[in-house]
Structure 1
Amino acid sequence: NVEGADIGSVSDDIALRIQEFSKTLPKGYEVNFEGEVAVMKRSFANLGLGLILAVLFAFLIITPLFKSFRQPLIIILAFPLGLIGIVTLMMITGTNLSIQSIMGIIMMVGISVSYGNILIDRINNLIKEGMQKTDAIINGASDRFRPVLMTAATTVFALLPTAIGIGESGGANVPLAIAVIGGTITATLLTLYIIPIFYLMIAKTQHNEN
């Protein structure tokens, strides 16, 4: 019965007890995990591949939209920034890495890319309207500050009951909610500041090349 906890943390606790128990077993005997725990351990590799594919597909999808490789690369950089928040919040809450938490990390790819997409698109539109690049970056970040912040706040507050573990099956989904909340908070705050800086750096590089 793992009610109120995730399978990963329960299996870790059992593994510690098995380690001590195994010392008393006769030679040739061993204790292994089977069932859902064994499936979970095998699934980690597949989820890791899924994370890589999610980042790759996100990059391939937004590249034709911006007709550039540099700007989508800036947007993808928002995802590693989100990982900072995920790792930090998981450490603070004592949450172990599990299938649910990795699923939350994969979800963060789409969330962080959407924030960057909104911001870069606004900056590009301002430049097309004739605004100088530096002014467009400042105004674009300013214009999209409130929409991005409100979207992030909605996501965080919507997942807060799940992160707390409210409900009969809430405990199983706690790692997923914590991963998304941690990633959303840092991806939002850092995206609004880091992406404009990277955009400006690339704009200066293009100017020097020209």
Structure 2
Amino acid sequence: YGGVGGRDLGGVRSDIRPIVAQAQKTAPQGVSIVLRGQASTMSSSFLGLGIGMLVAIALIYLLLVVNFQSWLDPFIILTALTGALAGVIWGLHITSTTLSVPAMMGAIMCLGVATANSVLVVTFARTHLEEGMDPLKAAWEAGTGRLRPVIMTATAMIIGMLPMALGLGEGGEQNAPLGRAVIGGLMLATVATLLFVPVVFSLLHRQPADTVKAEPKDNVPSTVLEEAVSTT
């Protein structure tokens, strides 16, 4: 039996796996060396959390479809989640943190905040679009008009996660992957929400220019005919 002190379980498992594989080569015939304990439990937890994440994304999409009465705008909103997932991977990579159950939980938390910020931007863009504004201008106004609320929400979450990401306190290193995943995910998700989402909105809502047909010169507009009738 071995305990984990000052390190996350995923990192210890990654270090032990090559040792177990090497020992298996020199083991007597009929003897197998298997890694048990919390490491195997964590592997099964990965599968459950992965399925839970996919189900969560599907439910979010369906709820947004009901709310917006559209299949297109919820898809635009979910494009911000690509930035969130990329940010989670980036945050874990630059901090040399292995993927673990707390990191997966942090990724799910990050998806919720990223979706909320993206809903804020798309709702504002839809309002301008319904007022007759051009899709490109509506997306620009949404990105600039909701810049401060989105940044404030992400910044507050990042600052709140800093102590956890630094692993402060006794046993803090075990929960550090959660904070690092949330911080990395929110950093790139915020950029995606303010830049990528408006671009996708303007592209998908763009319509071909209407062709204006010129009226024949011999046709008199109806307004002129009405004025002539009223004067007579």
TM-score, normalised relative to structure 1: 0.92
Amino acid at match of 2:122: I
RMSD after superposition = 1.7
- In structure 2, the residue matched to 1:64 is 66
Report SS of the residue matched to 2:205. helix
Check the 8 A contact 1:54/1:109 in 2, yes or no. no
- How many residue pairs get matched? 208
Q: State the structure with more CA Rg.
A: 2
For structure 1, which runs of at least 5 residues remain unmatched after alignment? Answer: none
Pairwise mapping of residues 64-143 of structure 1 onto structure 2 (< 5 A)? 64-143=66-145
Deviation at 1:178, TM superposition (A): 1.1
Deviation at 1:34, TM superposition (A): 2.0
**Counterpart Cα distance in 2 of 1:162 and 1:3:** 17
> Residues 9 and 112 (structure 1 numbering): CA distance in 2 closer, same or farther, change over 3 Å?
same
From 3, 10, 13, the equivalent of 1:11 is 13
For structure 2, which runs of at least 5 residues remain unmatched after alignment? Answer: 211-232
Check the 8 A contact 1:141/1:196 in 2, yes or no. yes
Amino acid at match of 2:208: N
Of all paired residues, the percent bearing the same amino acid is 33
What are the superposed Cα offsets for residues 116-168 of structure 1, whole Å, 9 maximum, x if unpaired?
10101111223334444333221121110011001111111111111111011
Deviates more, 1:119-128 or 1:192-201: 119-128
- In structure 1, the residue matched to 2:169 is 167
**Counterpart Cα distance in 1 of 2:76 and 2:100:** 29
From 36, 39, 42, the equivalent of 1:37 is 39
Deviation at 1:30, TM superposition (A): 1.6
What are the superposed Cα offsets for residues 3-50 of structure 1, whole Å, 9 maximum, x if unpaired?
321111112212222223333321111221222111111122111111
Say which structure is richer in helix.
Answer: 1
Deviates more, 1:163-172 or 1:80-89: 80-89
Deviates more, 1:160-169 or 1:81-90: 81-90
Deviation at 1:72, TM superposition (A): 0.4
Deviation at 1:111, TM superposition (A): 1.5
Amino acid at match of 1:93: T
> Residues 201 and 16 (structure 1 numbering): CA distance in 2 closer, same or farther, change over 3 Å?
same
Check the 8 A contact 1:137/1:200 in 2, yes or no. yes
Amino acid at match of 2:27: L
Report SS of the residue matched to 2:26. coil
Deviation at 1:60, TM superposition (A): 0.7
